[in-house]
Amino acid sequence: MQRIINEPSLVVEDMLKGFERCHKDIIHIDDDNPRVVISNFAKDKKKVGIVTGGGSGHKPAFVGYCGKGMVDAVAVGEIFSSPTAKSFYDCIRAVDQGMGVACLYGNYAGDNMNVKMAMELAEDDDIQVKVVVANDDVASAPKEDIKKRRGVAGEVLMWKVGGAKAEQGATLDEVIRATQKAIDNTRSVGVGLGPCTIPANGKPNFAIAEGTMEFGIGHHGEPGIRIEKLASATEIAKEMVSLVVEDLPFTNGDEVVALVSGLGATPVMEQYIFFDEVAKNLDSLGISVYKSYVGNYFTSLEMNGVTLTLMKVDDELKECMDAEVETMGLTQLRRT
């Protein structure tokens, strides 16, 4: 295992120390709970608090989206496993200012259970908490079981929209409505070309044979929908665009935000090659790209592969996507 770490069971602790040290102008770790990261801007003005949380190993997700204009507090789990209910609860308490808290997270059993428990604790404190549960991964369940689908890189767009809406001074109900619309308009799919190794295990957590690729693979190596012979960027993009576009469906005349994320070890060069093919496919379908993101936005350690996410946008979502943001994972200037 070729890794730059100390004790494998302490990688999350050690990472958080370095993360806080590097980004102390943007975030801090809660005094009482070392698994809670809080934005320094969370209480700059009275607004709805935005909370998320999830397993580690997906950097910039989740802590990398904590900051100005996006997420106010993040509950941090072990590698690929849910944060505790206590950590979600501590996040909620840390950012509530009386306007309530929107907890925007991905659809995984552990996260669902722990957020539910955290909400019960918050209810005892009279803090109003509402949730949006990301389920953008089209490959993780058929459309008739859409509520069973997992959340993947579409969460980044969900947090951007929710954070911007809260920053505008919207009520909790308004934040939830806009964010739910964002994720309802979002579809993603991933392809895996190589596995990753959880440090505490020391061995790859799944296998992808040389010369093959796995469509629909999950962020934690959850099995995909099919294994195919490794194809060209042109063919991979065509297949992924079709899986995503047909599911919503996105149609001629739609405007979208496109997000291509590497899974960790895929060179950014390849992500741009892939993105160009995606854009050509969208062009031919009459779908126009309003804004695009290419890079390592939601990874799985050193997994090799990419995800494609499309979000259909209207004026409200565009305004949210264009708003200024300052986090480790995404910083955007205000367009003047």
Active site residues: 58, 220
Binding footprint of a copy of itself, residue count (CB under 8 A): 61
Other beta carbons within 10 angstroms of residue 167's beta carbon come to: 22
Looking at 37, 66, 74, 208, which residue binds a copy of itself (CB under 8 A)? 208
Q: Which residue has the tokens 């005349």?
A: 253
By beta-carbon proximity to a copy of itself, the closer residue of 100 and 218 is 218
Torsion of CA 80, 11, 300, 176, to 10 degrees: 60
Closest CA to 313 of 122, 101, 161, 128: 161
Q: Three-state SS across 200-254?
A: CCCCECCCCCCCEEEECCCCCCCCCCEEEECCCHHHHHHHHHHHHHHHCCCCCCC
State the residue for tokens 């790209």: 289
Q: How far apart are CA 173 and CA 104, in angstroms?
A: 13
Judged by CB under 8 A, which of 274, 287, 310, 312 binds a copy of itself? 274
Omega before residue 249 within 30° of 0, cis: yes
Is residue 149 close enough to count as binding a copy of itself by CB under 8 A?
no
Q: Which stretch binds a copy of itself (CB under 8 A): 57-65, 142-150, 155-163, 173-181?
A: 57-65
- Using rule CB under 8 A, residue 336 touches a copy of itself: no
Residue 272 lies near a copy of itself (rule: CB under 8 A): yes
Cβ nearer to a copy of itself, comparing 42 with 208 = 208
62 vs 89, beta carbon nearer a copy of itself: 62
As a residue count, the chain comes to 336
Interface with a copy of itself in residues 27-56 (CB under 8 A) = 56
Given the complex with a copy of itself, which of 112 and 234 has the nearer CB atom?
234
Site string for a copy of itself, 275-304 (x = CB under 8 A): xxx-x---------x--xxxxx--x-xx-x
Nearer to a copy of itself, 57 or 100 (CB): 57
Q: Which stretch binds a copy of itself (CB under 8 A): 101-109, 111-119, 161-169, 231-239?
A: 231-239
- Tell me the Ramachandran region of residue 18: left when phi exceeds 0, alpha when psi lies from -120 to 50, beta otherwise: alpha
Q: Which pair of structure tokens corresponds to residue 293?
A: 């993101």
Is residue 109 part of the contact set for a copy of itself (CB under 8 A)?
no
String of contacts with a copy of itself for each residue 300-329, x by CB under 8 A: -xx-x-x-----------------x-x-x-
**Residue with Cβ nearer a copy of itself (177 or 272):** 272
Alpha carbons 129 and 90: distance in angstroms, whole number: 13
Place of tokens 């840390």: 94
Q: How far is the CB of 15 from a copy of itself (least distance, A)?
A: 5
Instruction: State the Cα–Cα distance between residues 126 and 166, nearest whole angstrom.
Output: 20
Residue 43: left if φ>0, alpha if ψ -120 to 50, beta else—which one? alpha
Minimal distance in Å, beta carbon 133 to a copy of itself? 25
Minimum CB separation of residue 263 from a copy of itself in Å reads 11
As a whole number of angstroms, the distance between CA 181 and CA 33 comes to: 33
Residues that bind a copy of itself (CB under 8 A): 2-6, 11, 14-19, 21-22, 56-57, 59-60, 191, 193-194, 208, 210, 213, 230, 232-234, 236, 264-277, 279, 289, 292-296, 299, 301-302, 304, 306, 324, 326, 328, 331-333
